Amino acid sequence: MNTKKIISASFIYVDDFVKAIKYFKSEKRKFVTYSPVPNHEIEEALGAKKSKVGLFTLAGGITGLISGFSLAGFTAAEWNLVLGGKPPVTLIPFVVIGFEFTILFGALATLLGLIINAKLPSYKKLKGYKPEFSVDHFGISVEADETELASLGDSFNTFGAKEVTYE
């Protein structure tokens, strides 16, 4: 019976890393990538989908705008202030309150959307991860049978991997 092992490779150059991603994607293998910085080439190679965090921001901003105007309007209508014949509820002075609430609720919704979409916090140990992947190297980890490890190691070396490790 074959048991699954993790093979990891670290890359110095983005081009080599992208070639490895494209290869494993074409082979329909399950893999995990690690990158110290965001990179558009990597996102394109992975076929990353557009983030839904912006929708959280939009919903938070609209909610904040409505809440800000509602709070200011309700407060002005509730207190019987002498305004010299002017209407107590006017939109122009409430723009500042509406704007501030839009920014506040939008920022909080963005944070909430980030936490939800990133599935934070995650307490499980990442298999194949090395601390250098967060500093200056790009990393990829592939789960494979023991019989495939040698061929995968050769594949990583042909793509220019700096180091290949097995777990």
pLDDT tens digits, one per residue of 14-56: 999 999 999 999 999 899 999 999 999 999 999 988 899 999 9
Residues 69 and 113 grouped into a single domain: yes
Sign of CA dihedral 53, 59, 60, 65: positive
Q: If pLDDT is split at 50, 70 and 90, which confidence band does 124 have? A: confident
What pLDDT score does 126 carry? 83
Q: If pLDDT is split at 50, 70 and 90, which confidence band does 133 have? A: very high
Q: How far apart are CA 77 and CA 132, in angstroms?
A: 60
Residues 33 and 88 grouped into a single domain: no
pTM of the model: 0.74
Residues 127 and 146 grouped into a single domain: yes
Contacts of 19 (CB under 8 A, 6+ apart): 159, 160
Q: 144 lies in which domain range?
A: 4-50+121-166
Give the number of domains in the chain. Answer: 2
What pLDDT score does 146 carry? 86
Residues 38 and 71 grouped into a single domain: no
For residue 129, the domain's CATH number is 3.30.70
Q: Which amino acid is at 78?
A: E
What pLDDT score does 87 carry? 83
162: DSSP letter: S
